[in-house]
Structure 1
Amino acid sequence: MGRIPSVFLLFLLSACGGFNSNSVKDICETYPDMCSDLNPDGWCRAEKADIIKHRYQMSVSPTDKLRYDLLLDFEDYKKCISKASQIEHIKLKEKKSERIRGLLTAERELKRLANETRDATTPHLLYYQWSRFHSEQALQGFLQYEKNNQLEYPEMQVALATYYSKFDRPKTIRLLYHALELYKEDEEIDREIFRSLSSLFMKEEQFDWAYLWGYVAREFGVEDLNLTSIQAILHEQGKKTAPIEDKAAHYIELIEEGRFIAPL
């Protein structure tokens, strides 16, 4: 894919108000090779849009962070399109072959990007190489960034939590709290943080906190949570859930406004 003049990027952003469905359409019309290897039907629309937007940004100003974003984009797309490719279209059999083409694209691009970034030294890609391919060298490089306080991004605090969760639950909780502290107002929150906090506090047998973060998770749209069992435990301990829910509601407000501070 050729490099796109930055002036065209500015035109698209000003004409379309940033990246939205219209600008994705414009990108595909102007640079069809950024879209033609993905399935053309309505399946996996959000995942395709992310890929197209990040491909476009890469063509203008490539960075390791964008390569990391594309790796995650293709992982999400592969998960989605692999399900869609198993669905037979009643009237148009070619729909399935188009989805299979998208699946093959995801597999090819994941392999290509992973190989290209194998020797990367930036934190996001070091984390990717460790978490996906168990590279000890990548892990040590990633942890060096922690020692130098250079992982002050929500997603990197969550990445660190993934590492420490295997042997240090208290530190894992602190890292997830700090990730919430780093979010700014109106930023999209990684909802799995709340599920993880609830699970960690359950293991620590701090059931009031487990219920609080489970409640927050549910309010943020996390599914498959069993709060009833935690309620039963709290009832046995003579604790009421209403005050916990009030505190959770306050935390939700602080998180959404980018003002959360980790409790002591």
Structure 2
Amino acid sequence: MNKNFVIITSFISFIAFSSLLGCDNQRDTGSICKKNPELCSDLHADSWCRYEKADLIRKRFKLKFTESPTGKEIYQHLLNLEKYNQCIELAAGVQHILHPERTNDRLRAFGLSAQSLSQMQDTTKESKDLYLAFYHWTRFSDLDAEKIVLTAQSADQIDDIVILSHIASYYQKFDAIRAISIYLEVLDMSNEDNFNPDWLLGLANSYQRLNDFELTYLLSRANVLMTDQKVSEDKMLALIAGDAELSRYLDKQADELVDVIEAGDFKQSAIKAIFEREAPSK
């Protein structure tokens, strides 16, 4: 994939030259900008959005020395640019009374980053790469991109937990059994660092569609344990016909589920078998 595919307009002209320089391992963004001003010239100067700005600079720096970026690297660059653009848009709305030039600088950075983002989106629109197709499916509801992602999942070609979780959510609306299968695959890949507790609610909803209210309760309870969200205990009990003894049993299982997910042990755990049982008849 050509490098011009990913490097934004403000430093396209530097690509050929930069490839001759060798890779600098410097990770300090101030030093990166000083040595590679083309990577930062379109960004704002003050301390607003410092994390989003730093992540974008580091991603640009890495791509500068990547001869053939992968679709995943381009996708991650798009995400970094999106986050920066969203943050600087908010910052641009804050009027600086003593230094109005700072507000103007943020407005300039917002305009340039929005332009760069739009250009990258246009350039990647027809890509057959999984990550770029996923981006265009989730951002623009692109049906061709959706087909690429769903076809890859059907062929067991996806091992990215975020993409799989989105596919599970997609099937949750009309194919609960398939959604459950994919959500369980997501749990197999989960650990404390990469897990999103909302996935438990998606799985709970899928079991509820199959009238498996015990697992709906168990998964909902596990979500509460992981998020500290407030929940109506009356509504929780209503899922299992007010059976207090069953509630205590399922609460213990929810504790166990949280433990194995956070430890990254769901795939080998005994509790996994509970979720593979046949759904109750309607």
TM above 0.5, one fold? yes
Partners of 2:30 and 2:117 in 1: how far apart?
A: 24
* Conservation of the 8 A alpha-carbon contact between 2:192 and 2:261: no
The equivalent residue for 2:71 is: 64
Shift of 1:154: 0.7
**Which residue of 250, 259, 266 maps to 1:253?**
259
The equivalent residue for 1:174 is: 181
Partners of 1:6 and 1:258 in 2: how far apart?
A: 42
The equivalent residue for 1:32 is: 37
- CA separation of 1:160 and 1:211: change in aligned 2, threshold 3 A: closer
Partners of 1:253 and 1:6 in 2: how far apart?
A: 49
**Which residue of 82, 87, 91 maps to 2:94?**
87
* Conservation of the 8 A alpha-carbon contact between 2:219 and 2:254: no
The equivalent residue for 1:139 is: 146
- CA separation of 1:189 and 1:5: change in aligned 2, threshold 3 A: farther
Partners of 2:203 and 2:53 in 1: how far apart?
A: 31
Q: Report the 3-state secondary structure (helix = DSSP H, G, I; strand = E; otherwise coil) of the residue aligned with 1:74.
A: helix
Partners of 2:208 and 2:46 in 1: how far apart?
A: 43
* Conservation of the 8 A alpha-carbon contact between 1:67 and 1:113: no
Does 1:228 pair with 2:235? no
**Which residue of 204, 211, 214 maps to 2:223?**
214
- CA separation of 1:52 and 1:198: change in aligned 2, threshold 3 A: farther
Shift of 1:4: 4.7
TM-score by length of structure 2 reads: 0.73
Where in structure 1 do 4 or more consecutive aligned residues deviate above 6 Å? 202-205
Deviations 1:35-91 (A, max 9, x none): 232222222222222222221222222221111112222222233222222222242
Larger displacement relative to structure 2 (250-259 or 235-244):
235-244
- CA separation of 1:74 and 1:210: change in aligned 2, threshold 3 A: same
Any gaps of 5 or more consecutive residues in structure 2? 1-10, 277-282
* Conservation of the 8 A alpha-carbon contact between 1:74 and 1:110: yes
Aligned residue pairs, count: 246
Partners of 1:53 and 1:70 in 2: how far apart?
A: 10
Partners of 2:201 and 2:62 in 1: how far apart?
A: 32
* Conservation of the 8 A alpha-carbon contact between 1:127 and 1:159: no
* Conservation of the 8 A alpha-carbon contact between 2:224 and 2:231: no
* Conservation of the 8 A alpha-carbon contact between 1:215 and 1:245: no
Partners of 2:167 and 2:128 in 1: how far apart?
A: 16
Partners of 2:227 and 2:259 in 1: how far apart?
A: 14
Larger displacement relative to structure 2 (246-255 or 103-112):
246-255
* Matched AA of 1:78: N
Does 1:107 pair with 2:114? yes
The equivalent residue for 2:134 is: 127
Percent identity over the alignment? Answer: 24
Any gaps of 5 or more consecutive residues in structure 1? 13-21, 220-224
